[in-house]
């Protein structure tokens, strides 16, 4: 290649570029171990080894649990100046974190020539911060959630209160097979720490498997961690099959007879009825239905139910039959067998 002026300039420029590249030196990577300690609900203290003498400072990049830079923090990365001292370790306080949250730290050293390769979070105490729950957040209720008194549409639960600062509890009821949330119940705090809380869950579907999660909550502090259903008797239950209620007591008393009606009474033999149907027929057969009265279930099993039949014709013989019903089906009807059992004649 001829050594003309143009080529000489080219070589000179390349020499200057190479000299510049060789003189550029980014600092060495800190660490690699990044100690994490003094962790609170919003802060943590960290330490790391300074492996350079030419850094201007350090950048602490705070990533979320997915190892993505957390853009919700007010300052990220956090800048730390170089502290040239006999102590080879650098220290920094990380603030403004969210409670009960996992963070991953990546630290670089930097100067005018650029940044070092970042450190890598690799363990619970190396570059990973799990902030504690809010100081005011209540503790999770007793992990065991008892389930009992189960019917086709309801269940009773109990759990231990582990806090003294909760405003109440939330009971989340899920379909066990689909994980769909079907009901949420909010309970006031009625017992002291170490006492039991109780709740009745109603409006459920018969023959369905459910699981229950319970949290304690405090205003402004959020909810505790939820309990976890782990067995047939711990937070998990299956409602019973909805069967027809038993027929009411065979004897149906008739009294307070007037020219247009009468009062009847009968024994409730079931615990799963929604209510009762009272059928009043004209005459001694069930060929002509004159009146149907429906009453809700008011008493417990073995107790008496009452109903008034009105709007009847004067001086007419009536036969009364009673059944119990629920959303699934209706029980058999009672059978009148005497003048005082399901039979009466209205007054003239």
Query: Are 150 and 224 found together in one domain?
Result: yes
Confidence at 343, pLDDT banded by 50, 70, 90: very high
CATH number at residue 331: 2.60.40.10
For residue 17, tell me if it sits in a domain.
Answer: no
pLDDT at 24: 63
State how far the Cα of 72 lies from the Cα of 65, in Å rounded to an integer: 13
How many alpha carbons fall within 13 Å on the CB side of residue 191? Answer: 14
The single residue listed with the structure tokens 């309990």 is 227
Same domain, residue pair 149 and 228: yes
Q: With 90 as the cut, is the pLDDT of residue 338 above it?
A: no
Q: pLDDT tens, 139-172? A: 999 889 999 999 888 999 999 999 988 999 999 9
Work out the pLDDT band at 329, boundaries 50, 70, 90: confident
Q: Are residues 126 and 149 in the same domain?
A: no
In this model, does residue 4 exceed pLDDT 60? no
On whether residue 27 sits in a domain, the answer given is: no
Examine the fold and report which residue of 175, 204, 238 is the final residue of a domain before the chain moves on: 238
Closest CA to 140 of 193, 76, 180: 193
C-alpha dihedral sign at 331, 337, 341, 342: positive
Give residue 194's region: left, alpha or beta (phi > 0; psi -120 to 50): left
Q: What is the pTM of this model?
A: 0.44
Max CA pair span of the chain = 141
Domain membership of residue 297 as a residue range: 253-345
Position 223 in a domain: yes
Q: Which residue has the higher pLDDT, 41 or 255?
A: 255
Q: What is the pLDDT of residue 272?
A: 85
Q: How far apart are CA 277 and CA 325, in angstroms?
A: 7
Predicted confidence at residue 111, as pLDDT, reads 95
- How far, in Å, CA of 309 to CA of 336, rounded? 16
H or E element, residue 91: strand 89-94
Indicate the Cα dihedral angle 97, 98, 99, 102, nearest 10°: -80
pLDDT at position 29 is: 95
Give the pLDDT confidence of 287-301 residue by residue, as tens digits. 999 999 999 987 778
| pLDDT for res 1 | 44
Say what the pLDDT of residue 9 is: 42
Tokens of 146: 């008892």
Q: What percent of the chain has pLDDT over 90?
A: 68
Q: Is residue 333 assigned to a domain?
A: yes
Is residue 139 situated within a structural domain? Answer: no
Residue 242 in contact with residue 158, Cβ under 8 Å? no
For 262-298, b where at least 16 C-beta lie within 10 A, e where not — what string? bbbbbbbbbebbeebbbbbbbeeeeeeebbebeeebe
Instruction: Let me know if residue 135 belongs to a domain.
Output: no
Q: Note whether 126 and 150 are same-domain residues.
A: no
Using CA atoms, how far residue 253 sits from 74, 77, 112, 149, 307, in Å, is 78, 84, 101, 33, 10
**How much is the pLDDT for 22?**
43
Same domain, residue pair 266 and 300: yes
Average of per-residue pLDDT across 67-78: 92
16 membership: H or E segment, kind and range? helix 5-23
213 in helix, strand or coil? strand
Residues 185 and 260 in one domain: no
How many other C-beta atoms are found inside a 10 Å radius of the C-beta of residue 227?
24
| Res. 260: pLDDT tops 80 | yes
Give 13-69 pLDDT, tens digit per residue: 444 444 444 446 999 999 899 999 999 888 999 999 999 989 999 999 999 999 999
Averaged pLDDT of the chain = 89
pLDDT of residue 183: 96
Tally of structural domains, the chain: 3
Categorise residue 302: left if φ over 0, alpha if ψ from -120 to 50, beta otherwise.
Answer: left
Q: Of the candidates 104, 3, 110, 32, which has an alpha carbon nearest to the alpha carbon of residue 61?
A: 104
Q: What tens digit of pLDDT does each residue of 198-223 get?
A: 999 999 998 999 999 999 999 888 89
């Amino acid at each position: 290649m001829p050594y003309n002026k143009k080529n000489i300039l080219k070589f000179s420029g390349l020499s200057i570029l190479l000299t510049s590249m060789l003189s550029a030196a980014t600092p060495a990577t800190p660490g690699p171990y990044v100690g994490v300690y003094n962790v609170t609900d919003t802060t943590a203290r960290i330490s790391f080894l300074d492996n350079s003498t030419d850094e201007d400072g350090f950048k602490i990049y705070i990533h979320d649990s997915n190892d993505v830079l957390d853009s919700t923090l007010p300052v990220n990365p956090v800048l730390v100046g170089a502290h040239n001292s006999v102590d080879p370790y650098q220290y920094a306080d990380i603030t403004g974190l969210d409670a009960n949250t996992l963070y991953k730290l990546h630290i670089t050293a930097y100067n005018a020539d650029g940044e070092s390769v970042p450190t890598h979070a690799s363990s619970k105490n190396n570059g990973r911060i799990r902030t504690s729950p809010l100081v005011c957040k209540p503790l999770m209720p007793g992990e065991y959630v008892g389930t009992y008194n189960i019917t086709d549409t309801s269940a009773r639960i109990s759990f231990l209160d582990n806090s003294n600062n909760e405003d109440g509890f939330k009971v989340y009821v899920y379909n066990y097979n689909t994980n769909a949330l079907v009901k949420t119940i909010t309970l006031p705090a009625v017992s002291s720490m170490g006492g039991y809380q109780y709740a009745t869950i109603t409006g459920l579907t018969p023959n369905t498997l459910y699981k229950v999660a319970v949290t304690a909550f405090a205003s402004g502090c959020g909810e505790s961690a939820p309990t976890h259903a782990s067995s047939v008797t711990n937070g998990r239950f299956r409602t019973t099959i909805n069967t027809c209620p038993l027929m009411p007591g065979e004897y149906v008393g008739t009294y307070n007879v007037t020219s247009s009606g009468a009062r009847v009474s009968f024994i409730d033999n079931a615990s799963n009825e929604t209510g009762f149907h009272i059928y009043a027929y004209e005459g001694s057969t069930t060929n002509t239905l004159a009146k149907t009265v429906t009453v809700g279930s008011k008493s417990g099993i073995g107790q008496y139910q009452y109903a008034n039949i009105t709007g009847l014709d004067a001086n007419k013989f009536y036969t009364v039959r009673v059944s119990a019903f629920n959303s699934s089906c209706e029980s058999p009807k009672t059978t009148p067998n005497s003048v005082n059992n399901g039979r009466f004649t209205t007054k003239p």
